[in-house]
Chains A and B, each alone.
Chain A
Amino acid sequence: MRAQFRSRIRLVLAFVFFVALLILVRLYFIQIVYGQEYSRKADRQYASSGGGLFDRGALYFTRKDGTLISAATLSTGFLVAINPQILVNPEAAYAALQTVVPDFMSREAFLAAAEKKGQVYIEVAHRLSDADGQTLTAKNIPGVQVFRERWRQYPGGTLAAQSVGIVSYGSGDTLAGRTGLEKFYEGTLERSGNSLYKNFFAELFSNVSNLVVAAKDAREGDIVMTIEPEVQTRLQEDLIKVTQKYSSKESGGIIMDPATGAIIAIANYPSYDANELQNVDPSVLGNPLVEHMHEFGSIMKPLTMTAGLDAGVITPTTTYNDTGCITVNTARICNWDLKARGVIEVRQIIEQSLNVGAAWVATELGQDTFRDYFTKLFGTKTGIDLPHEGRALLGNLMKPQQIGYDTAAYGQGIAVTPVQMVRALGAIANGGMMVTPHLVSAVRLNSGITRSVEWSQPTSVFSATAAHDTSVMMTAVVDEKLQNGAAKIPTMSVAAKTGTAQLTNGQGGYYTDRFFHSFVGFFPSYNPRFIILLYTNDPQGVTYASDTLSPSFLDLVHFLIDYYAVPPDRGIPAQTDSASTTPV
């Protein structure tokens, strides 16, 4: 009796285990072996399904008050596909589609697609609105399928387009970031799998660890940029005006916080609308501000001056004899106006932009010291969070000819990227400390945690005293020289320097009538909130940067003062007087 009972129990247990085994095997085949196939099948059967859709993290601008505004996000809608094997009346189907989506496709193209009887799936319309998609679904046209669709959307259009970057298929069949931050932060923005299809059994078979620790939740998220949308808009508008007014080949600009390296605006013109890539010239898809090198001209002089002051070979009151022109290694170096100044203080090198004086400082520094300073400033990449950063061309500083050092002292013969230039000049604004320029301040992880992005510690390249002394000289440029002193803001100290470099002719020489204009400035001079770098390449009918870029620079300075309510740093009585006025 007992034996019979045991055998029955064993039979029942064996049956239970057998059924369980069958279920497990079946689940394994359904979810692991044929999982993708079933997933695709489900997508095609269920029009409003959220699965299998393109998904990607967002990029955000940060307004001055901390509000996040989407720079790159996702839009949802519908796509329409036909199955030529089922579509029996293409004419009627086309007419029905036309009533909902006029001009979605030419009649000939639609009928040609419907003739491809060997295929079962041909997409004929994209990015339909929700209302249109629902209407088409309700029509239930045989052979016409309506699917949910999601795509990348850039609400700003052209706004910081070259820095935000684009998403495209590239050479493969995977949508991924190809340029800009979209590429640099691909690991954070990409979505490795659709979590809606995640289920216990599949995870159990494929990756047990993900059930315990969601590793991708600690990696995937949204990117918070330092770019301020209204400042970015203003910068872009100013660059367009300059480029169009002087028919320049291109213009660019960067506005950065010199203390942290946070880039508030960065732009180049011509650019593109990231939502309309069909007819975009591929050459503008990159970011010239980190990829292209230029000889910047006289905005290099403040760096030469600060190096001389820091090394102790000169002081602000040191004098030298400016002869107007000098000959070095058989090459002739002259001031912009070819005029001699006689014995003058070195501060005049900055205030009057004297090439002979800059060359004299370079000679005083000596080749090794000069090379050390410029290698510290430009010898390495900045580490900015954008792809394809270029390296500075400092070859002339590796040769023994003094002419290479003398010309480098005023920004010719060496080429650097705009980002390298603003980082180096930012050291003068930041008490001699050089920071890492960057566009991202934080990552909002899917887990809900916002993780601040840590950037490398500032490195010291100049003493604070040397940086301050140069700032004084640059402030005098605005107060006394720029627009003959009319640019001076009585309640705000502004330091600046213009640069006009001759363009290379590609044959080892320079054009005498084609120029690269640059402009750098920061304010308040002795505790700067912003550093601004502008340039315009090959402007027509104008020689000096003070003519092309001064209006844009001053417009940005006044805009930033108003927009951020930067408090005056001078011209306000220190005591209890309640008000002060200043002309506009």
Chain B
Amino acid sequence: MHNAHPILPFSFLTLCYGIVGVLVVTYIGLIAVVMSSAVLTVEFSQSVKNDVAAVAVLERQYLTIVAHITNTNYTALGYAKPLKKEFVRAESVTALR
């Protein structure tokens, strides 16, 4: 009569427990990663939106200044229109032409 020695040094049940344990740990790890990712995404998204809002404030200032410049009566401020304009042919600004 032969002794039936198992190929593995531990029982199949132990193997299953091990696999289940690894899966549980992996699952918990995945949840942690997903949660962290969600938090970072929320914070990043909010940060982007805050920056967009800050840019909008600057854009509003720019458009207000444009309107102010357009509405300014330069004659009333003492500026005079030039008597003539001089058109000059565009000169090449590079050495390649």
Show the binding face of A for B, using Cβ within 8 Å.
Answer: 5, 8-9, 12, 16, 48-51, 58, 69-70, 73-76, 130, 148, 150, 153, 155-157, 159, 196, 199-200, 229-230, 233-234, 237, 491, 568, 572, 578-584
Contact = CB atoms under 8 A, between A and B. Distances in A.
Contacts of B16: 9, 12
A386 B63 CA distance: 24
A584 B87 CA distance: 12
Given A159-B67, A199-B34, A491-B85, 13 more contacts: A73-B55, A74-B53, A76-B50, A150-B49, A229-B63, A233-B63, A233-B66, A234-B70, A491-B87, A578-B88, A579-B89, A580-B86, A581-B87
Given A12-B16, A76-B50, A76-B53, A49 B70 contact: no
Interface string B75-89: 000000111111111
B42 A5 contact: no
7 contacts: A73-B53, A76-B53, A155-B60, A156-B63, A157-B63, A200-B34, A237-B71
A491 B86 CA distance: 10
Given A69-B62, A196-B42, A8 B53 contact: no
Given A582-B84, A584-B82, A16 B42 contact: no
A230 B16 CA distance: 72
Contacts of B70: 230, 233-234, 237
B11 to A, nearest CB: 8
B10 interface: no
B68 to A, nearest CB: 10
A237 B12 CA distance: 85
Given A229-B63, A233-B66, A73 B52 contact: yes
B55 A5 contact: no
Interface of B: 12-13, 16, 20, 34, 38, 41-43, 45-46, 49-50, 52-53, 55-57, 59-60, 62-63, 66-67, 70-71, 81-89
Contact of B13 (A8, A150, A568): A8
B34 A70 contact: no
B63 A196 contact: no
B93 to A, nearest CB: 15
Contacts of B84: 581-584
B41 A196 contact: yes
Given A199-B34, A581-B84, A581-B87, A233 B60 contact: no
Contacts of A150: 49
B80 to A, nearest CB: 10
Nearest to B59: A155
A327 B34 CA distance: 85
Given A5-B12, A130-B50, A572-B87, A70 B42 contact: no
A196 B38 contact: yes
Q: Which of A70, A74, A568 has the most CB of B within 10 A?
A: A70
A153 B53 contact: yes
B21 to A, nearest CB: 12
A50 B88 contact: no
Contacts of A50: 42-43, 45-46, 49
Given A51-B42, A76-B49, A199-B34, A582 B85 contact: yes
A74 B63 contact: no
A581 B13 contact: no
A153 B52 CA distance: 11
Contact of A73 (B56, B81, B89): B56
Contacts of A5: 12-13
B13 A579 contact: no
Contacts of B62: 69
A199 B35 CA distance: 10
Nearest to A23: B27
A76 B55 CA distance: 12
Contacts of A49: 42
B15 to A, nearest CB: 10
A70 B55 contact: yes
Given A155-B60, A229-B66, A75 B42 contact: no
A541 B82 CA distance: 33
A116 to B, nearest CB: 31
A579 B88 contact: yes
Contacts of A58: 52
Contact of A159 (B34, B55, B63): B63
Nearest to A491: B87
Closest A-B pairs by Cβ, 6 of them: A155-B60, A50-B46, A155-B59, A50-B42, A73-B56, A75-B53
B48 to A, nearest CB: 10
A57 to B, nearest CB: 11
A9 B50 contact: no
Nearest to B58: A155
A568 B87 contact: yes
B13 to A, nearest CB: 6
Nearest to B23: A16
Contacts of B41: 196
A196 B44 CA distance: 10
A75 B85 contact: no
A168 to B, nearest CB: 19
Contacts of A76: 46, 49-50, 53
Nearest to B46: A50
Nearest to B42: A50
A159 B89 CA distance: 36
Contacts of B49: 50, 74, 76, 150
A130 B16 CA distance: 54
